[in-house]
Amino acid sequence: MFFSIRSLSVAAVFSLGAVLNAADNPFVGRWALTIPGGGAGWLGVESKDGALSSSVLWGGGSVVPTAGTKVDGDTLIVTREQKNKEGKLSAIETITAKIEGDALKLTTAKKNAEGKEIGKPAEFAGKRIADIPAKPDLAKVKFGDPIQLLNGKDLTGWRLLKEADNGWSVVDGVLQNRVVKAKDKHFGNLRTDAEFEDFNLKTEVRTQEGSNSGIYLRGIYEVQIMESFGKPLDSHHMGALYSRITPSVNAEKPIGEWQTLDITLVDRHLTVILNGTTIIDNQPVLGCTGGAMTSDEFKPGPLYLQGDHTNVDYRNMVLRPVVK
């Protein structure tokens, strides 16, 4: 339907302008961040009904909504609030960003609840993430020869991600992680020497009491491994893409039982089959997850197993790379 702006009220014109400006806002989209200190982060900016909103991933943890999002001239201003254990405001972080092509130049500054500056402002960078392609037809995807990632004898082909205490060992053909809770102990994550692009991964996992681990695909996306049997569906429970995709159904077995995982990553789409039940069905992945080695979703990377939290067991891990 054609209409003339002249026929609209002043209020309607301003409303229409806000919608158009938001729709054309160059900040809207998803951004891969390299946060101060070099960690992986993510920023998503959305426009709905003429208003901007955003969510952010800052190194570890979950993707969380921000407290405020606005544009002032050529600058995006995002506000994050931090609260203490009692739920009281402890700090306010202000992130400002300017666009340079497909890149963001950002600065972060933090103040306490009384308005006093905390530390010094820090500069960091972001890069626009390309649109996610159409959902792949997995029936037409070709996979290469299987690669046995665990030899059942030792840690050949694996190494600690960073210098840390090593809780990983192979016992009776099982790759196990055993963590000792102590102030002077800091246990490490385990990664493959080899790096991969898209693939199918099949493995078995056995949770222990309070298990909290994860399988990082290409070191970027964490499929959660957790002892969460009997708990409600959640993006932080067994088989989820951590804080991003909640399983569609509970398929977890009780603690101590071996469970099968069949994971396929193709064209930034994820499928997870847990114990023979599809719980994530070829769903788009919007960005890295907490603890990622990098926010760059377009480079090969290793598998890495989270080992800095609790005890967990793995066996029979076989990867088939996508053949292009």
Which position has the token pair 């092509």? 101
Q: Tell which of 95, 128, 161 closes a domain.
A: 128
156 and 115 in one domain?
A: no
Q: What is the CATH number of the domain that holds 9?
A: 2.40.128.30
Q: Quick one: which H or E segment has residue 19?
A: helix 10-23
Q: Which domain holds residue 217?
A: 138-321
Residue 176 pLDDT exceeds 80: yes
159 and 123 in one domain?
A: no
In this prediction, residue 292 has a pLDDT band, given cuts at 50, 70 and 90, of: very high
In this prediction, residue 23 has a pLDDT band, given cuts at 50, 70 and 90, of: low
Give me the pLDDT at residue 257, please: 97
For residue 120, tell me if it sits in a domain.
yes
186 and 114 in one domain?
A: no
281 and 150 in one domain?
A: yes
42 and 166 in one domain?
A: no
Segment among 1-5, 97-101, 153-157 with least mean pLDDT: 1-5
The reported pTM is 0.91
Q: Tell which of 100, 128, 156 closes a domain.
A: 128
Q: What is the CATH number of the domain that holds 201?
A: 2.60.120.560
d(CA 240, CA 259): 15
Q: What average pLDDT does range 294-298 have in this prediction?
A: 98
DSSP 241: B
208 and 272 in one domain?
A: yes
Task: Give 271 or 310, the one with higher predicted confidence.
Answer: 271
103 and 35 in one domain?
A: yes
Q: What is the DSSP string of 143-212?
A: B---EE---SSS-TTEEESSS-B--EEEETTEEEE-----TT--B--EEESS-BSSEEEEEEEEE-TT-E
Q: For 63-93, how does the pLDDT look when each residue is reduced to its tens digit (9 = 90+)?
A: 999 999 999 999 999 999 998 888 899 999 9
237 and 157 in one domain?
A: yes
Per the prediction, the chain carries an average pLDDT of 92
Q: Is the dihedral of CA 100, 64, 277, 320 positive or negative?
A: positive
Residue 37 pLDDT exceeds 60: yes
169 and 113 in one domain?
A: no
Task: Give 15 or 246, the one with higher predicted confidence.
Answer: 246
As for how many domains the chain has, the answer is: 2
Percentage, residues of the chain above pLDDT 70: 93
Q: Tell which of 128, 160, 187 closes a domain.
A: 128
Residue 182 pLDDT exceeds 90: no
For residue 156, tell me if it sits in a domain.
yes
For residue 133, tell me if it sits in a domain.
no
At residue 307, the 3 state secondary structure works out as coil
Residue 5 pLDDT exceeds 90: no
In this prediction, residue 184 has a pLDDT band, given cuts at 50, 70 and 90, of: confident
156 and 35 in one domain?
A: no
230 and 95 in one domain?
A: no
235 and 96 in one domain?
A: no
Q: For 218-256, how does the pLDDT look when each residue is reduced to its tens digit (9 = 90+)?
A: 999 999 999 999 999 999 999 999 999 999 999 999 999
Evaluate whether 274 touches 260 at the Cβ level (below 8 Å): yes
For residue 290, tell me if it sits in a domain.
yes
Evaluate whether 288 touches 42 at the Cβ level (below 8 Å): yes
